[in-house]
Structure 1
Amino acid sequence: MTYQRVGISTKIFEKTNHYITWLNSRPILVAKVEGKYYAMDAVCSHMGCALLENVSGKYAECPAHGAKYDITTGERVTEAMIKPDVKCEYDNNTVPLKTFRVKESNGFLEIEI
């Protein structure tokens, strides 16, 4: 396993439960859930919107259409909604979102690449 330091101090999680970082030119959502760190792609599988906000507990919600993801697994737990009872033609991206192992090293976080 190879890990890359992403420049996130664990002290940042004293003030927030999530943070966005970049890994190989892609946004990664890092969250602390029940004392453990998790990381996953920060792009909604529905239409590619950023999952930068709306993080509550172990869930991240897309601000555009409400798709909700489990941060610990990358699984989508709530479908995107454009119109009730109408399947979206854009909903053909990969689910679950890619997740990454996270470890703490000397007060900083490292993500498995």
Structure 2
Amino acid sequence: MNILTDIFVVLVVIEFVYIFYLETIATTSRKTSETFGMTKEVLEGKNVNVLLKNQGVYNLLIAVMLLIALFIMHSKGTIVLLLNYIIIVAAYGAVSSNPKIFPKQGGLALIALILLLIFGI
């Protein structure tokens, strides 16, 4: 893969680590409230809090898998698979919850995927 593709994959990783941070570490913060359009009171609710923390771990593991695929496995196929997963989940979120989810969660992944498909390995 070329450097531009690598940069965009790493940007996706950074984005997913940030989502992990919001959902798992800063679960009840003002920024998390703004990002997800939920009041702090809702975020402090036990069920929502636990669900967000669980989702945050999923997002962190996606980031870790992308890093492993990029820097250890050097696997274009694995990266394509993970980026497609991110794009599909973002599309589902856009349809089922809020259209703004797609560009926020899937935008960088889509750009990375397009660059990967154009420039290849």
- TM-score, normalization by structure 2: 0.25
Higher strand share: 1
Greater RCO, CA 8 A, separation 6+: 2
